[in-house]
Amino acid sequence: MLLYASRIQIVKNVIIPKLQNDFIVVSDRYNISTLAYQVSGRGIKKKFIKYLELFLPKILKPSIIIYLDIHPKEAVKRIIKARKLDKIEKNSFLFFNKIRNSYIKLSKKENFFLIDAQQSIKKIDKEIQKILTNWYEKYT
């Protein structure tokens, strides 16, 4: 519930005003993440998540979604090179595989791009730039 209270506040006080002033809003998480983590990862009923979405001031659909796909074991290796794992990152590989599979399944939707995040940062950056440039040219 706190997750949605926070999301309601962000949508109402940040996202909607920015969109109304012709800004492009970039978010690192939104409803797709909630479905992947809470429904697939934690086993919370999708019906309950959809109910909570009713309280959002306005359901905003992202124009584009970019998912950086990496195997959970590789992600953990990269994280521990830089810092300690946080509470969420200490979950089991089974948990993260469920989430990853959910994202992969969701990536079949239009305007959802899956990028292989095991490649170099330079290649990932090029792919993201290409996707965003194509989107920008198509919709502006």
Question: Three-state secondary structure along 52-103?
Answer: HHCCCCCCCCCCCEEEEECCHHHHHHHHHHHCCCCCHHHCCHHHHHHHHHHH
Percent of the chain with pLDDT over 70: 95
CA distance 38 to 3: 10
pLDDT at 42 over 80: yes
The larger pLDDT score, comparing residue 41 to residue 129, is at 129
Task: Return the structure tokens found at 79.
Answer: 């994280």
pLDDT at 44 over 80: yes
Cβ–Cβ under 8 Å, residues 67 and 19: no
Kindly report the pTM of this predicted structure: 0.77
User: Helix 72-82 vs helix 93-106: angle between axes, to the nearest 10 degrees?
Assistant: 120
pLDDT at 84 over 70: yes
The mean pLDDT value for 94-102 works out to 90
The mean pLDDT value for 77-87 works out to 87
